[in-house]
């Protein structure tokens, strides 16, 4: 599970079927050397050993060569760009836009997805007839709240995608940040991506990249449908 631990390199702690896949992808985009530790979920949750890496016990965690563990995805990406993107291939084309879209990906979209997921999980674990009732409640929440929220968010993102990437001509932090909620929402079928052709094509562009493909090979699975 642990790759040879070379000193002087960042060490990346990855978890299967999780948002840390996007960081693994970005490490491959950078083309730098790093140590990779793949962790595996236990009963659907992060394994206890991750507590030894960062207090929160979650993935992703990037441990810098100076032994600082960074646990928030946007902070990890910011660090990696500052420290390793010396020729500015992934530089923010517009700093405010980059911060806005990265924050949007981490908070606004994620929250709505979590609400639907919790209802699904709770309904799945509840005995009949509570499971049926909760399914009905989720439908109502979707109709009156999460559904319209998704529509607004996706219309907004569709409008913002005026070039190949959210960052502009070149892939940037906001694209990497947005890839996770998109993959999650697509896998769970919470949103109909056919309605948003620019986002649909953007996702295809990501999946066709060599770095994406090699991250999929190096990780230990990315099946979000069963989360």
Residue among 3, 5, 111, 207 that touches a second copy (CB under 8 A): 111
162 touches a second copy (CB under 8 A):
no
Shortest distance, CB of residue 213 to a second copy, whole angstroms? 28
* CA distances in angstroms from 155 to 55, 83, 99, 107, 151, listed in the order given: 37, 34, 19, 17, 6
- How distant is the alpha carbon of residue 193 from its chain centre? 17
Distance, CA of 93 to CA of 79 (rounded, Å):
17
52 touches a second copy (CB under 8 A):
no
Stretch that binds a second copy, among 8-16, 74-82, 184-192, 204-212 (CB under 8 A): 74-82
55 touches a second copy (CB under 8 A):
yes
Tokens (6 digits) for 63: 């441990």
Q: Which is nearer to a second copy, 126 or 220 (CB)?
A: 126
Residue among 2, 32, 42, 118 that touches a second copy (CB under 8 A): 118
Residue among 155, 162, 201, 207 that touches a second copy (CB under 8 A): 155
How many Cβ atoms from other residues are within 10 Å of residue 182's Cβ?
A: 23
Q: Which is nearer to a second copy, 19 or 35 (CB)?
A: 19
Contact assessment for residue 30 and residue 80, using Cβ atoms and an 8 Å cutoff: yes
Q: Which is nearer to a second copy, 13 or 212 (CB)?
A: 13
Helices (H) and strands (E) counted in the chain, each on its own, are 9, 4
- How distant is the alpha carbon of residue 117 from its chain centre? 15
Contact assessment for residue 5 and residue 57, using Cβ atoms and an 8 Å cutoff: no
115 touches a second copy (CB under 8 A):
yes
179 touches a second copy (CB under 8 A):
no
Q: Which is nearer to a second copy, 32 or 133 (CB)?
A: 133
Helices (H), the chain: 20-30, 73-84, 95-103, 109-125, 130-141, 147-160, 173-187, 197-207, 210-218
Distance, CA of 15 to CA of 19 (rounded, Å):
8
187 touches a second copy (CB under 8 A):
no
Q: How many residues bind a second copy (CB under 8 A)?
A: 41
How many Cβ atoms from other residues are within 10 Å of residue 78's Cβ?
A: 17
Stretch that binds a second copy, among 10-18, 26-34, 76-84, 85-93 (CB under 8 A): 76-84
Distance, CA of 82 to CA of 74 (rounded, Å):
12
- Binding footprint of a second copy on the chain (CB under 8 A): 55-57, 68, 70-75, 78-79, 82, 95-96, 99-100, 103-104, 106-108, 110-111, 114-115, 118, 122, 126, 130, 133-134, 137, 140-141, 145, 152-153, 155-156, 159
């Amino acid at each position: 599970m642990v790759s040879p631990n070379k000193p002087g390199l960042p060490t990346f702690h990855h978890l299967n079927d999780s948002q840390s896949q996007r960081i693994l992808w970005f490490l491959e985009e950078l083309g730098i050397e790093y140590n990779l530790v793949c962790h595996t979920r236990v009963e659907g949750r992060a394994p206890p050993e991750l507590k030894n890496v960062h207090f929160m016990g979650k993935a992703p965690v990037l441990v810098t060569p100076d032994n600082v563990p960074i646990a928030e995805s946007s902070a990890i990406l910011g660090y990696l760009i500052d420290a390793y993107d010396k020729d500015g291939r992934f530089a923010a084309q517009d700093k405010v836009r980059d911060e806005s879209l990265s924050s949007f990906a981490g908070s606004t979209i994620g929250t709505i997805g979590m609400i639907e997921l919790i209802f699904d999980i709770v309904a799945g674990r509840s005995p009949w007839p509570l499971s049926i009732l909760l399914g009905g409640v989720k439908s109502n929440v979707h109709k009156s709240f999460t559904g319209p929220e998704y529509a607004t968010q996706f219309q907004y993102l569709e409008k913002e995608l005026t070039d190949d990437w959210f960052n502009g001509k070149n892939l940037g932090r906001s694209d990497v940040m947005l890839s996770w909620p998109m993959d999650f929402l697509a896998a769970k079928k919470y949103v109909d991506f056919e309605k948003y052709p620019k986002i649909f094509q953007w996702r295809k562009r990501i999946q066709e990249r060599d770095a994406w493909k090699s991250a999929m090979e190096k990780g230990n699975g990315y099946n979000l449908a069963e989360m």
